[in-house]
Amino acid sequence: MDGVQTHLQPPKVVQFGPTNNLRLGGRAKHQIHWRAELSPEHQLPHEPNGGPLTAEHGEPEVADGMASGGERITFTQEPSFMGGIPNVVLTNPPVLASSTPLLPLNDSLMNNPIQKHLGLGLGTSDTDLQKMLIDERMRCEHHKTNYQTLKAEHTRLQDDFIKAQNDLKRALTEKQTINDKFQLLLTELRGELLDKTREVEELKMQVLTPQKLEMLRAQIQQEQEGPLREKFNKLDEEAEKYRTEYNKLRYEYTFLKSEFEHQKEEHIHILEENKMRYDAEVSRLEKDKENLTNQLLSIDPTRDEKRVESLLREKAQLHQRLKNLEAEIIELRAERDNCGAQAENVQRIQVRQMAESQSAVKSIEAEKQSLKMQLDRLEKELQHSHDQNTQLISKLHKSEREVNALTEKMKELKHSHKLDVANIKLECARTKGEVERERDNLQSELHGMQSSIEVLKATIERQKERIAEKERELIRKVQAIKDEEIQKLTVIQDEKLQLENRVANLEEQKEASEASRNSEREKWEEKLHSLQLSEEALKKEIQNLRSKLQHQVHQLELLEKEKNENTELRQQNQDLQIQLNTLTQSENDLLDVVKKLRHTLDRLKEEIRNARSQAEKAQQEAEKLLEEQRIEWLEEKHKLQDQISELEEKHDQFKEKLQRAAIAQKKDEQQQMELLNLRKRLEDLETLQQRQLEELGASVE
């Protein structure tokens, strides 16, 4: 019982690797080490050379292994011993060595030789049973550990698969949300871009083009220069008229002055002639008087008296005539004085008119100078506004070029963005299809694995049903192992008790049950071989699942790359938004410049309105002045007409007087000439007044 060497004949040798994985093989080395120290009485007997007792046949192949209890079991397999049946050298574990025997043996029976022989046979059967129990326990432990490892690996793989599936779903949902956000952002940016392009088009329509600016400049120049030019032309014409009138009046003044001097000289000459004539006549009359006195002295007094009376009558007549002539002379002198006063009045009026005309000409020239200065200022302002407009046009063209470049760049970015979006969509669709295919493959593989697991479960259940016919308690143990992992140790203890009870029952049926047990063991080993094959297939499937998981991880990395690309695209969109903001800022600057231009145009229009109002005021003042001058001219006309009527009356009187005296004929002619000149002057004044009224009416129109 301390150390037993038995020969078992399993069809396959159980191999325990370092990872406690179950493998099946034909010829292999196996050695299981129990690390518990054995007492000397429990050691195997040794050969003389000190080695363990083994059945030697050729060179044995030894494999060592470690069991969980610290025992050491050595499996040996020889190349040719009983048809290749391996030898198992079992070092009795301390558990079995120290355990109580399964069947109580009596000392008397052990002392009896027959009973010793029977006890020896029972001892050999007990050792066989113990070896079988140890093998079964080892197999159960190995199956349990394999089942636990497989179950843990299966649960871990299921958790990894669920985690990967959840990560994939989360990545897909994140990608979908990112795509939705990106689409919304893209639509918003497109709408904003359309609004900005519409605003840019409206601003382009509102912005002054060079043709519009030239037309506006020409219109403003025409509006500003037209009335000013007309006013300047009118002022020039009026100045020319006033100048011609001034020259005419000066010429008339000089002519009238020369004529007055000539008439004055003629009057003096006539007076001198009349004086000389009167003196001659007086001297002649005195001579006649002397002659008459001499004659009177020489003639008789009666005749002389008659003659004296006649002479006295003639003298009286002559005195009367002389008085009349003196009265006429006085009248003529008075008329001369009146004519001189009238001439002086006319001269004063002419001088006053000339002074007024000169002051009007000076005021007109001053107004002309002020208008010229205003025109120069307006021309300078127009030139300044023209320069500003050219600068603004250059800035506008530059900004338009920048806008065009930015729009082209935006179009290129939109095109590249569309291409990137299309590529991303294609990649997403492709990856989605691949992920779906992988998911379908994984689901199909999972279904296949589940079906294979179900098939295995069904086979296990069938095996359990077969085993349940003989070992219902073992079926409960396997079922308990499958259902409850926590109660596996208790199930194993129950199985141990059941197996011990079964060993007690099998002691009676040992010979009959050995063949069936061997066949069952072969079946079990075949099942274990099939389970090992299925385990290898499961390992391959697990490796495939791991490779697929790695592929999914690679796809997740690709999705991370796509996320990074999406972030880069968002950054590009932000850059485009910044560029759009700069464009809007430049457009706002252009709008401010346009507003400033409009403000300057409004200011120029206001100045033009003010100039027009000032021109209208000046025109109204000129009309008032013309009206006053017209009234004055009418008054002067009435006065002159009165003077003409008086002069005509005087002229009639002069005619009547000059008919009586031929001396006054020249004066009458001179008066007629004066009247003609006065009439011509009146006509000229009337024509001048008429022209001024017509020009004033034309300027008002």
C-alpha span between 29 and 572 (Å, rounded): 68
Instruction: Tell me what the mean pLDDT of segment 185-200 comes to.
Output: 83
Residue 98: band (very low, low, confident or very high) from pLDDT cuts 50, 70, 90 = very low
Q: Which helix (H) or strand (E) segment is 77 a member of?
A: strand 72-77
At residue 337, the pLDDT reads 80
Tokens encoding 452: 């294979």
SS3 sequence of 597-620: HHHHHHHHHHHHHHHHHHHHHHHH
Distances (CA, A) of 136 to 17, 139, 247, 524, 660: 18, 5, 156, 11, 194
Domain parsing of the chain, residue ranges: 1-95, 210-426+573-700
Residue 639: band (very low, low, confident or very high) from pLDDT cuts 50, 70, 90 = confident
Instruction: Tell me what the mean pLDDT of segment 197-223 comes to.
Output: 76
Cβ partners under 8 Å of residue 409, min gap 6: 579
In the three-class reduction of DSSP (H, G, I as helix; E, B as strand; rest coil), residue 564 is classed as: helix
Residue 524: band (very low, low, confident or very high) from pLDDT cuts 50, 70, 90 = confident
Q: Within its chain, how far is the Cα of 590 from the centroid?
A: 15
Is the pTM higher than 0.75?
A: no
C-alpha span between 396 and 52 (Å, rounded): 108
Least confident of 26-35, 249-258, 657-666: 26-35
Q: Which residues pair with 13 in a beta bridge?
A: 25
Q: Which residues pair with 599 in a beta bridge?
A: none
C-alpha span between 172 and 180 (Å, rounded): 12
Contact between 618 and 695 under an 8 Å Cβ cutoff? The reply is no
CA dihedral 564, 568, 569, 575 (to 10 degrees): 160
At residue 594, the pLDDT reads 65
46 pLDDT exceeds 70? no
299 pLDDT exceeds 70? no
Residue 436: band (very low, low, confident or very high) from pLDDT cuts 50, 70, 90 = confident
C-alpha span between 274 and 12 (Å, rounded): 193
Distances (CA, A) of 589 to 201, 219, 396, 594: 16, 26, 10, 8
83: left (phi over 0), alpha (psi -120 to 50) or beta: left
Q: How many CB atoms lie within 10 A of CB 13?
A: 20
Distances (CA, A) of 377 to 236, 374, 452: 20, 5, 105
Q: Which helix (H) or strand (E) segment is 4 a member of?
A: strand 3-7
Average pLDDT, the chain: 69
Q: Where are the alpha helices (DSSP H) in 471-509?
A: 472-483, 488-506
Residue 508: band (very low, low, confident or very high) from pLDDT cuts 50, 70, 90 = confident
pLDDT in tens, 366-380: 777 777 787 777 778
At residue 21, the pLDDT reads 41
216 pLDDT exceeds 70? yes
DSSP 132-197: HHHHHHHHHHHHHHHHHHHHHHHHHHHHHHHHHHHHHHHHHHHHHHHHHHHHHHHHHHHHHHHHHH
Contact between 229 and 615 under an 8 Å Cβ cutoff? The reply is no
